Amino acid sequence: MSGMASDHNTSSQEDYVPHYLQKGDPFASKLSREADIIAGFYLTVIGILSTLGNGYVIFMSSKRKKKLRPAEIMTVNLAVCDLGISVVGKPFSIISFFCHRWMFGWIGCRWYGWAGFFFGCGSLITMTAVSLDRYLKICHLSYGTWLKRHHAFICLTIIWAYATFWATVPFAGVGNYAPEPFGTSCTLDWWLAQASVAGQVFVLSILFFCLLLPTAVIVFSYVKIILKVKSSTKEVAHYDTRIQNSHILEMKLTKVAMLICAGFLIAWIPYAVVSVWSAFGQPDSVPIQFSVVPTLLAKSAAMYNPIIYQVIDCKFACCRTGGLKAKNSLKKSR
């Protein structure tokens, strides 16, 4: 029976034809022209807002670059990744949606797929590093005494090397980049898992090292932080003002990091679920019209972070202003 099952599996893999080779032109849009135009306008708005927002974050950070804390350096790196996605990737898909077909051939498809995966992986690994930094800073106070700026730059080097490695692995013959089922965008060739055992190993490796492991680290870090904060809030109240202010600043940075990670995962998890289903489910079992929605949602992730920065900064500034007014009124009453 096992031999028959393996023979059936082998024959099904040998008979497998990827979706982009089944219907002639792999780059022709499978959506209606109206749907492509709507998607094009949507990505245009997302791209403009993301470029302006992340560009503003980088510009403002550059004005105080010598005063940036290690956690803030990581946040700037996240803005660089998001800006890279917006500037390098989105114009390709926007033009293709408006033209009702992918306009840049196989070379452009592989470049677009590589750039999207490179900057997306860089974003997630950066958030993983930030979550670990927050965990160690909040839960292991001695960690903060030896962490310096040059440690943050070493971490950035590791992040970029990690993203470069995994984004370039498909070019070594292990995997590939291919058109999305709807034709006007490109991504990792998740469908290789339908073709061979090597393809399954490639897809599982990508999922584990570039999604599951970083997400597990992020969830672990913030769960531990939440538990620690609940147990230590009363203790901080007994410290002097300088320690309380430092604690408030650390919690501000932690809130920013938590919201950024939550926004990123909410945007990308639906796309990851659809990709896994495409890789290991029945061939072509995901409707084309359904597959485009998670893709567009994932492309919006780069827009959220600047909004989160500004909301937290405004809230922090208001709290700080309120605190100063309270102190001044107390002095006057005295």
pLDDT in tens, 177-216: 999 989 899 999 998 888 888 889 999 999 999 999 999 9
Statement: residue 317 has pLDDT above 50:
no
Per-residue pLDDT, 25? 83
Are 236 and 96 spatial neighbours (Cβ–Cβ below 8 Å)? no
The DSSP annotation for 174-190 comes to: S--EEE-TTSS-EEE-G
H helix or E strand, kind and range, residue 97 = helix 90-99
Name the residue with higher pLDDT: 104 or 306: 104
Helix axes 90-99, 33-62, angle to 10 degrees: 160
Task: Give how far Cα 249 sits from Cα of 206, 245, 246, Å.
Answer: 36, 6, 5
Rg of the chain over Cα atoms, rounded to whole angstroms, equals 23
Name the residue with higher pLDDT: 23 or 277: 277
Statement: residue 316 has pLDDT above 70:
no
Q: What is the DSSP letter of 286?
A: S
Task: Name, of 1-5, 112-116, 288-292, 315-319, the range with top average pLDDT.
Answer: 112-116
pLDDT band at 259 (very low <50, low <70, confident <90, very high): confident
Statement: residue 301 has pLDDT above 70:
yes
Per-residue pLDDT, 321? 43
Please give the model's pTM, rounded to 2 decimal places: 0.82
Mean pLDDT of 153-167: 95
Mean pLDDT of 269-289: 82
Statement: residue 10 has pLDDT above 50:
no
**Rounded-to-integer distance, Cα 321 and Cα 311, Å:** 15
* Residue 258, both tokens: 């938590």
Spans of all domains in the chain: 33-323
φ/ψ of residue 133, rounded to 5: -60, -45
Long-range contacts from 35-43, C-beta under 8 angstroms, 24+ separation = 35/289, 35/292, 36/97, 36/98, 36/100, 36/184, 37/97, 37/98, 39/97, 39/184, 39/292, 39/296, 40/94, 40/97, 40/98, 42/296, 43/90, 43/93, 43/94, 43/97, 43/296, 43/299
CATH architecture of 33-323: Up-down Bundle (1.20)
Mean pLDDT of 111-139: 90
**Rounded-to-integer distance, Cα 167 and Cα 113, Å:** 9
* Residue 157, both tokens: 């080097």
pLDDT band at 19 (very low <50, low <70, confident <90, very high): low
Q: Across the chain, which distance is largest between two alpha carbons, in Å?
A: 90
Q: Which of 4-13, 265-274, 293-302 has the lowest mean pLDDT?
A: 4-13
Q: Which residue has the tokens 């950024």?
A: 260
